[in-house]
Amino acid sequence: MSLKHAILVMLDQKPHSGYDLLQQFKESVGYFWNAKHQQIYRQLKILHDEELIAFQSEIQSGKPDKKIYAITQQGKDELLRWLKEPVATNKINDALLVKIYGADSAPIEDIASEIERHIEIHQNTLNYLLALEKKYLSLSSNEQLNFRYPYLTLRRGILGEEAWLRWAEEATQLFKK
Amino acid sequence: MSLKHAILVMLDQKPHSGYDLLQQFKESVGYFWNAKHQQIYRQLKILHDEELIAFQSEIQSGKPDKKIYAITQQGKDELLRWLKEPVATNKINDALLVKIYGADSAPIEDIASEIERHIEIHQNTLNYLLALEKKYLSLSSNEQLNFRYPYLTLRRGILGEEAWLRWAEEATQLFKK
DNA sequence: GATTAATATGCAACAAATTGCATATGGAGT
DNA sequence: ACTCCATATGCAATTTGTTGCATATTAATC
């Protein structure tokens, strides 16, 4: 759907290789977009065929060659078109909540330990995001201005994870009884 | 992946037709699972072929016939197996955040009005979920006990939407300037 | 009388995402 | 020497999800 546009947004900021994009999806922007490397490379090929992006091969000593992709004017046009268009709200499909909804049908300990496991993951994510926030807050106010929109998405991540963990407290309360 | 198991969970509570399931996905459990009718009917066919569910046709005066699906013993076994197995945390792909991340590239008013639009949708969702909560809280404590797990998923929805709206306040602050 | 909404189900084509496999190099650790 | 990890890219098959189309009835609205 809009992996295409997620990539265009990234490339509009600065050129990236497929591997770079993968790292971004795994690290900084992973809170709001995720994709596997196979999907990224395939999409890059499609975007290149559509002439929305272009690349230059970068020969690296040691490591394999990198293809550095940059957005073209046509790509910028397409991005602008998409940015102006309304997007649908997020479709939520949360398997953990499916499990909890059906918790009557399973041993309670299994569900409880599953929640424990997820709490740990979410706590780690939150810590990571808070560290990113700290880094942002230590920037000069001029630099902060440059990153205000990415920072806003980071805030979404932080508020989202905090809310998740508050919910998890309610959940563990229920499963303790 | 687990539309299959979402359906099994629902059918384990009580028999449903495909149309019933669709309504559930659109209404009560829509906060954590969504599917289109075509996908549901196809999955029901697959589950029936796998003998995880069985159905009885119900002749209705006026309306077309209904196929009422119920879970089989094999289905229950499969559900239990899945419930015991760890599930991956949610993959998040949020197009609105992609837009905001790339907000530098678009007219600020377009992004701002898009956020306004989403606020309205999330506010409506929250109101709907709060109404469901009110209904739950008016039940006798005995009935509440029966619905404690579905209620926990409802709490997730409420806390999630509240957090989203708090974030949106930060967002509108930023876009006002 | 004609249209629209709600109920009820489904096929077919297409798009998107996942899983499995495959290749290649260099550096670090055992 | 051997293995593992990070870097770097990609094809093919399968599964999952979306979009378009199709059908049939009743009740309500215009």
Q: Are A44 and A103 in contact (CB under 8 A)?
A: no
Measure A126 CA to C1 C1' (Å): 63
Tokens of residue B125, six digits = 């969702």
| Cβ within 7 Å of nucleic strand C, residues | A 1, 3-4, 34-36, 38-39, 62-64; B 1, 17-20, 22-23, 37-38, 41-42, 44-45, 60, 63-67, 91, 93
What's the pLDDT at B175? 87
Q: What pLDDT, in 10s, does the model give residues B57-86?
A: 876 655 667 899 999 999 999 999 999 999
Residue A138's φ and ψ, nearest 5 degrees, are: -85, -5
For chain A, helix (H) and strand (E) counts, in that order, are: 8, 3
The DSSP element (H or E) to which B67 belongs, if any, is: strand B66-71
How confident is the prediction for chain A on average, in pLDDT? Answer: 94
Categorize the per-residue pLDDT at A87 as very low, low, confident or very high, splitting at 50, 70 and 90. very high
Residues of B in contact with A149 (CB under 8 A): 100-104
DSSP E strands: which ranges in chain A? Answer: 16-17, 53-58, 66-71
What's the pLDDT at A63? 63
Tokens of residue A55, six digits = 């690349």
Q: Are B28 and B44 in contact (CB under 8 A)?
A: no
Q: What pLDDT, in 10s, does the model give residues B136-173?
A: 999 999 999 999 999 999 999 999 999 999 999 999 99
* CB–CB contact B93 A33 (8 Å): yes
Q: Are A117 and B86 in contact (CB under 8 A)?
A: yes
Does residue B103 surpass a pLDDT of 90?
yes
Q: Residue A62 — left, alpha, or beta (φ > 0 → left; ψ -120 to 50 → alpha)?
A: left
CA-to-CA distance for A12 and A7, rounded, in angstroms?
Answer: 8
| Cβ within 7 Å of nucleic strand D, residues | A 17-20, 22-23, 37-38, 41-42, 44-45, 60, 63-67, 91, 93; B 1, 3-4, 34-36, 38-39, 62-64
ipTM at complex level: 0.93
Tokens of residue B6, six digits = 């979402």
* Residues with Cβ within 8 Å of residue A5, at least 6 apart in sequence: A79, A82, B95, B98
* Residues with Cβ within 8 Å of residue B174, at least 6 apart in sequence: A148, A152
What's the pLDDT at A1? 66
Categorize the per-residue pLDDT at B12 as very low, low, confident or very high, splitting at 50, 70 and 90. very high
Residues of B in contact with A79 (CB under 8 A): 102, 105
**Of B27, B45, B26, nearest in space to B36 by CA:** B26
Interval A6-24 mean pLDDT: 96
- Domains (range + CATH), chain B: 3-84 (1.10.10.10), 95-176 (no CATH)
Q: What pLDDT, in 10s, does the model give residues A35-66?
A: 999 999 999 999 999 999 999 887 766 566 78
Categorize the per-residue pLDDT at A176 as very low, low, confident or very high, splitting at 50, 70 and 90. confident
**Of B6, B166, B22, B73, nearest in space to A158 by CA:** B166
**Of A32, A35, A28, nearest in space to A131 by CA:** A28
What's the pLDDT at B1? 66
What's the pLDDT at A177? 66
Q: What pLDDT, in 10s, does the model give residues B20-53?
A: 999 999 988 999 999 999 999 999 999 999 999 9
Does residue A28 surpass a pLDDT of 80?
yes
Interval A65-93 mean pLDDT: 94
CA-to-CA distance for A103 and A105, rounded, in angstroms?
Answer: 5
Q: Which residue of chain A is at minimal alpha-carbon distance from B10?
A: A102
What's the pLDDT at B65? 72
Residue A159's φ and ψ, nearest 5 degrees, are: -65, -35
Burial state string for B14-41 with b = 16 or more CB within 10 A and e = fewer than 16: ebbbbebbbebbeebbbbbbbbeeeebb
Interval A79-99 mean pLDDT: 95
CA-to-CA distance for B44 and B54, rounded, in angstroms?
Answer: 9
Tokens of residue B174, six digits = 């930023």
